[in-house]
Structure 1
Amino acid sequence: MKRVKILVIDDDESLRRVLEYNLAEEGYAVLTAASGEQGLDLLKKEGADLVVTDVRMAGMDGLQVLERAHKLDPHVQVIILTAFGTIEMAVEAMKAGAFHYISKPFNRDELKLTIRKALQLKELERENVALRQELRVRIGLDHIIADSRPMKAILEMVQRVAPTETTVLILGESGTGKELIARAIHANSPRAGGPFVAVNCAAIPEHLLESELFGHVKGAFTGAIRDRVGRFEAAEGGTIFLDEIGEMRPELQVKILRCLEERTLERVGDNRPIRVDVRILAATNKDLAKAIQAGEFREDLYYRLNVVPLSIPPLRERREDIRPLAQHFLKRLGASPRLTIAPDAFRALETYEWPGNVRELENALERAMIFHRGDVITLNDLPETVRAPRSREAVALPVSLPEAGLSLEEVEKELILRALQKHDWNQSRAARYLGITRHTLLYRMEKHSIVRPGARTPPEEEKVE
């Protein structure tokens, strides 16, 4: 097993010898240097896992050693030795990236413990890099299922935009895999080693979203008991993915625009600008052009986001992907290699409309995994909505079409209202009547702000009949 190598830099020869003896006794390989310049030369030639350096030396001081050591090896840990009177300097060194400082004369047990902790951190960082690399491979473009022509075209675009700093707007219905595409862009970009931070703008209450994105300072509002870093700062050096950005209120859109244009932000309760280095990816299932006309979305932000639009097709428009996706989900859900899907069950999967898209397909197969017997998933193992969809051709359109035209969203809202009223607001029966899942009905009720008369809250899930 390779021995951990520690570099000791101090212009006090007696202290160097004491440190060398103590560290060698612990089983470490020890290099020593009498000056910062000599130490950096050794680090460059020999390498080291950890540097222990005095903060105050003739010539190059410990702060300069720290800065240049990290330029030579960003992952090397540095511990600062300091005498009384130079504590302030040691604290500055920690702010600059040193792991810790130890006061002289040092306690042997304290030194051993600090070194052990520094090496544990280095190992965690190494594992983190390895995991990021593994994730990058796992989210490689060849791992995204794209047998259909539309999805192959999307992946070609991802390959072209990933290496750039371009802002990308990902469009598509809920459940089509917009976040997966965003992760693929990040994983195949120069920022892959940095964080990927996903924020669902529709899932966070409006009054909390600004603080969540930009952070806040202590006392900014009731309950702000300490400073808090926001998601933008957490994504420093990486990518932030703003999902459902169309749901963001216009006042907050101004701050997003500023981040895009000036690369700065202000925490809630503070007016000092903070520079941020992040790539912004955004997604929506909303028609932003229509939202602009309604005054719900800023036109200038739209053009900043819409540099490269990627429109993810719904699953019903890429049926060639259904079979490989189904097999992929079964494997991911831990299915036996012997498990197969019966031909009539596959036909049902391939002919169903999938209003919930890929997410609904995964849920349907998870259910089938629970109910199947033997080595075959049969038609009866699939959800009722999938195995017996209503024939659209046999249904007469229950509305007349006005000459002046009408909004598809208004028609959808009216049909949902009528179905709910017809079934006394029983969501399960209304969903079956409409040929959709109850989950999809709940989503569309929330989308259209449909609430049962007398109810004050959004629709909640009820007992399945």
Structure 2
Amino acid sequence: MKNRILVVDDEIDFLDSVRRGLITSGFKGIQTESDPRIAAAAVENGAVFDIALIDITMPGMDGVQLLEIFKKHQPQIECIMVTALDEARTAVNCLKIGAYDYLVKPVSKEDLISSIQRALERKRLLDILDLGKRKSTPELKNPSAFAPIVTRNEQMNRILKIAELHAASDAPILITGETGTGKELFSQAIHAASDRSGCQFTAINMDAITDSLFDAEFFGHTKGAYTGADKDRPGYLENTHKGTLFLDEIGNLMPTLQGKLLRVLQNGEFIKIGTNIPRKVDLRIIAATNKDLDRMMATGRFRKDLYYRLSGSWLHLPPLRERLEDVPLLINDFLKEFGRPDSDEIDPAAMDVLMAYDYPGNVRELKSIVRSAVNLAQGKPIQINCLPTHIRNRAVKSVHPLQDQPVPTLAELEKNHISAVYRMLDHNKAESARVLGIGINTLRRKLKAYGIK
């Protein structure tokens, strides 16, 4: 996701210099303006920026006036003031109005980049805190990056927004959740929403990394480093330079190797086998686990310092049983993937059974169930008998816990289910058909047949 940065200064040479410096440092969404009045009008008319770099002394409107306009119309903009005069009174005044930082020209590239990165991190954290206070979840700014994640659950939508906010940072991320909840899918979406999206995404199953393999796989080796090393071989770190490294099942990494990973996180460098020369690496690390790391730390199986490094940004994915409203959406998505795009391809009674199951294997298990059902249906609509026996049995016990009660017919179950969904969605036929997994014409016929109004 591009960070939107506005630079306002009447010195054209300074604007060009700052723009080049930001671009070479990886920033993309940069806009420059030499006339503060035009910048003020843009913000007043709704132009949105994350960071504003504002010169204080300008003709027509000084930087302090521009700061006041920015903070009035868009308080969320982090403003960094730049001036040729180091005046304490002006600096204090700007900070009182709401400026984030105050820099004195000439400003080194390192100081400027550091100030912008700190301001972006502050904005990201404030946006996350603000998200928790909102009654509704704001829309994603980069929906295409998160399109593979199918949901209508409010909690999941908030997690998606938080994930997008985290994507704007280079801080490590820890994703927790039960197996099959989509942790790798989330990591791929975060990578796609970040400024690293054009570079490598590398996923590694840490459960398969042994003590003898770690150095060779992560750090690589030089030619002649050991017998059989007939050429240089880059490791995961070198191959993923500028990209994102996804460490799946981080809780299974051997304690002896956790320290080596920690050093990479702390120093951003590694040493290839066969040399003593440290190499710098620039990458984003996302780790995931279904383990209880708090318990593992208490028993000494997971390093606390590594946990604190990884969990600065944290996402917890809820199990599918806590967002069952997503089941029909996911089923339709899987049906399309398996070549059955028509939502009429699943019988409503079979959908009822799938809605009554608790999915201990989460989304991954649901996908396997749908794949199996498609194969068994052999081109016909998926019926209850296409579903695994243990799911049918558990669903019947869930739907009919009191065996001495009259058992409704399938037609009665279908009528009640359609009626409940139709009412819940305020009689919206298109949305009801989508949730029920049937075509809208089929829904119209069933509403008429069952007398549902």
In structure 1, the partner of 2:295 is 290
Give the structure with higher Rg (CA). 1
Change (3 A) 1:329 1:302: same
Matched, 1:263 2:268: yes
TM-score using structure 1 length: 0.53
Name the counterpart of 1:152. 157
Distance 1:336 1:386 in 2: 24
One-letter identity of the residue aligned with 2:288: A
Matched, 1:384 2:389: yes
* 1:376 match: secondary structure: coil
Mapping for residues 309-458 of structure 1, pairs under 5 Å: 309-337=314-342, 339-389=344-394, 391=397
Instruction: State the superposition RMSD in angstroms.
Output: 2.5
Amino acid in structure 2 at the alignment position of 1:324: L
Alpha-carbon shift at residue 311 of structure 1 (Å): 0.3
Percent identity, aligned pairs only, is 44
- How far apart, CA to CA, are the structure 1 residues paired with 2:251 and 2:378? 44
- 3-state SS in 1 of match to 2:247: strand
Residues 371-417 of structure 1: per-residue CA shift (max 9 Å, x gap): 114541111111222222274898xxxxxxxxxxxxxxxxxxxxxxx
Aligned in 2, Cα 1:351/1:187: closer, same or farther, shift over 3 Å? Answer: same
Structure 2, gaps ≥5 residues long: 1-23, 25-141, 402-453
Give the TM-score of the pair, scaled to structure 2.
0.54
In 1, the alpha carbon distance for the partners of 2:232 and 2:379 equals 56
* Aligned equivalents of 1:338, 1:184: Cα separation in 2: 26
Q: CA deviation at 1:318?
A: 1.1
- 1:297–1:221 distance in 2 versus 1, CA, 3 Å: farther
CA contact (8 A) 2:181 2:363 kept: yes
Counterpart Cα distance in 1 of 2:387 and 2:209: 33
Whether contact under 8 Å (1:342, 1:379) holds in the other structure is yes
Q: 1:352 to 1:221 in 2, by over 3 A?
A: farther
Which structure is richer in relative contact order (CA contacts within 8 A, separation 6 or more)?
Answer: 2
- Contact kept in structure 2, 1:371 and 1:381, CA below 8 Å: yes
Q: CA deviation at 1:294?
A: 1.4
Q: In 2, are the aligned partners of 1:201 and 1:209 still within 8 Å (CA)?
A: no
Aligned position for 2:447: none
SS at match of 2:208: coil
User: 2:283: which partner in 1?
Assistant: 278
Question: Contact conserved, 2:207 with 2:249, CA < 8 A, in 1?
Answer: yes
Partner of 1:191: 196
Taking structure 1 as reference, are residues 180 and 266 closer, same or farther at Cα in structure 2, changes over 3 Å only?
same
SS of corresponding position for 2:374: helix
Q: Is the 8 A contact 1:210 1:252 kept in 2?
A: no
Q: Is the 8 A contact 1:139 1:183 kept in 2?
A: no
CA distance in 1, matches of 2:211, 2:279: 23
Matched, 1:241 2:246: yes
- Look up the SS of the partner of 1:331 in the other structure: helix
Aligned to 1:306: 311
1:164 paired residue number: 169
CA contact (8 A) 2:145 2:190 kept: no
Query: Does the CA-based 8 Å contact 1:255-1:265 persist in structure 2?
Result: no
Spell out, residue by residue over 1:413-432, the C-alpha distance to the aligned partner (whole angstroms, 9 max, x if none): xxxxxxxxxxxxxxxxxxxx
Tell me which residue corresponds to 2:451.
Answer: none
Instruction: Report how far residue 192 of structure 1 moved.
Output: 0.6
CA gap 1:206/1:149 in 2 versus in 1, 3 angstroms: farther
Alignment equivalent of 2:186, drawn from 159, 181, 187: 181
How far off is 1:230 after superposition?
A: 0.7
Q: Number of aligned pairs?
A: 261
Structure 1 alignment gaps of length 5 or more: 1-70, 72-136, 395-465
**Aligned partners of 1:368, 1:180: CA distance in 2, in Å?**
24
Residue 161 of structure 1 deviates from its aligned partner by 0.8
Q: Which amino acid aligns with 1:340?
A: E
Q: Residues 315 and 223 of structure 1: is their aligned pair in 2 closer, same or farther, counting only changes over 3 Å?
A: farther
Deviation at 1:138, TM superposition (A): 9.1
**AA partner of residue 341 (structure 1):** I
- How far is the alpha carbon of 1:289 from its aligned partner? 1.1
- Give the C-alpha shift of residue 208 in structure 1: 1.6
